[in-house]
Amino acid sequence: MLNFRIVLSGGQRKALVKRLAAAEKRGDVAMVKRLLAMEAISADTSPWDVARTLQVSAEAIRLWIKQFLLGGVPALQSKKSPGRPSKLTKAQKRKLGKWIKAGPAAVGYPGNCWRSPMIQHLIQEKFKVVYSVHYISELLKNMGFSYQKARFVSGHLDTQAREQWLTTTWPEILALAKRNNAYVLFGDEASFPQWGTLSYTWAPRGEQPTIETSGKRKGYKVFGLIDYFTGRFFYKCQEGRLNSDTYRVYLKEILAKTRKHIILIQDGAPYHRSAAMNTFFEHNRTRLTVYRLPSYSPDYNPIEKLWKKVKEKGTHLHYFPTFEDLKNKVEETLLLFKNAPKEVLSLFVSLKEVTHRGQ
């Protein structure tokens, strides 16, 4: 290694500098040392001096030079330590994953939510392997699990009806839309209360954060529709009640805004399926085709996610001393999404995945 010199081409030097900047940014000390060593040796610095400056062995410098000569800059990339071998085999991890997905009750534990000690006990009982309870979370992360807040699902949920909607009704809707060059509009309504909405925020431990509120129960109502193909967002704000009359007026305004056929997908709210609305739908059947979502299936309606985003951006943790303040904030936030069709389109990802799998 004595009197050894590396001559870098312009491309190699450029690649080295780029990799060095990236390694420094992510804090990869080992990679930084390798790259600095090659840079110094190419500048005619003695390998012995480089080893002494970087506080590494001469043998390490020799190996780095060899790696560089054989594979260039990419060959110097730090390799992650393999760590200790897993106590569980791949087959055992697959079994454990299936049990966790099935839920505690499926393997004889009470309740419907997993806790680390339960999984620790399950591994010990099934595989005779003992893990520290503190390691269980790390194990599960490595297996693709995360610690999440559970959500309620209605006991009235009709699994068969939901599956039929996804596999039969939804493809039927898309085929109809393609034939008629129609909008596919998912509709829903939301109410934004003047007393505000709460969300998570950072605060000193043991001191629950407080948000000022007007205490007034009045709310600002919004009808909304979003298009599956374009991300176009139609909405109408109002102070009055949401009922068949106001819904009918809203849909008339939507029909007046476009010459395209509209496929309307809505939930089973009483005023969506009232006699007055059925008459309206029949009268406008040449322009409007209506489909109803399965009962208790808000997760099939992407506009539900939009309302959540509007509240996050507009009303969470905000104080509205007057109703006008609330109205202005809601309308300002709705306009943001009206002008952001790509963000609206992102709400349809799960439906697009279902569509893609079915093709």
Q: What is the CATH number of the domain that holds 167?
A: 3.30.420.10
The rounded distance, in Å, linking the Cα atoms of 319 and 215 is 10
Q: Which pLDDT belongs to residue 110?
A: 78
Same domain, 132 and 207: no
Q: What is the pLDDT of residues 69-108, one digit of tens each?
A: 888 878 887 665 444 556 899 999 999 999 999 888 888 8
Identify which of 215, 219, 224 has the alpha carbon closest to the alpha carbon of residue 192.
219
Same domain, 112 and 226: no
β-sheet bridge partners, residue 331? none
Same domain, 57 and 166: no
Domain hosting 38: range is 10-76
The rounded distance, in Å, linking the Cα atoms of 43 and 60 is 19
Q: Which pLDDT belongs to residue 22?
A: 82
Same domain, 305 and 171: yes
Residue 221 inside a domain? The answer is: yes
Same domain, 23 and 94: no
The rounded distance, in Å, linking the Cα atoms of 252 and 33 is 69
Residue 4 inside a domain? The answer is: no
Q: 0.75 cut: is pTM over it?
A: no
Same domain, 198 and 234: yes
Same domain, 221 and 284: yes
Residue 2 inside a domain? The answer is: no
Same domain, 96 and 218: no
Q: What is the pLDDT of residues 329-347, one digit of tens each?
A: 999 999 999 999 999 999 9
- Over the range 171-180, which residues count as b (16 or more CB within 10 Å of their CB) and which as e? eebbeebeee
By the 10 Å C-beta count (0-12 exposed, 13-18 middle, 19+ buried), 57 is classed as: exposed
Residue 296 inside a domain? The answer is: yes
Q: What is the pLDDT of residues 121-156, one digit of tens each?
A: 999 889 988 888 888 988 999 999 988 767 655 556
What is the chain's mean pLDDT, rounded? 87
Q: Which pLDDT belongs to residue 151?
A: 64
The rounded distance, in Å, linking the Cα atoms of 99 and 88 is 15
Same domain, 70 and 99: no
Among 45, 76, 107, residue at a domain's last position: 76
29 SS3 class: helix
Same domain, 190 and 138: no
% of the chain exceeding 70 in pLDDT = 92
* Higher pLDDT, residue 284 or 45: 284
Same domain, 55 and 200: no
* Higher pLDDT, residue 222 or 78: 222
Estimate to the nearest angstrom the gap between the alpha carbon of 121 and the chain centroid.
Answer: 32
User: Which residues have C-beta within 8 Å of that of residue 13, sequence separation ≥ 6?
Assistant: 42
Residue 216 inside a domain? The answer is: yes
- Over the range 220-257, which residues count as b (16 or more CB within 10 Å of their CB) and which as e? bbbbbbbbbeebbbbbbeeeeebebebbbebbeebeee
Q: What is the pLDDT of residues 223-244, one digit of tens each?
A: 999 999 999 999 999 998 999 9
Same domain, 293 and 348: yes
Count of the separate structural domains present in the chain: 3
Q: Please state at what angle helix 58-71 crosses helix 29-42, rounded to 10 degrees.
A: 80
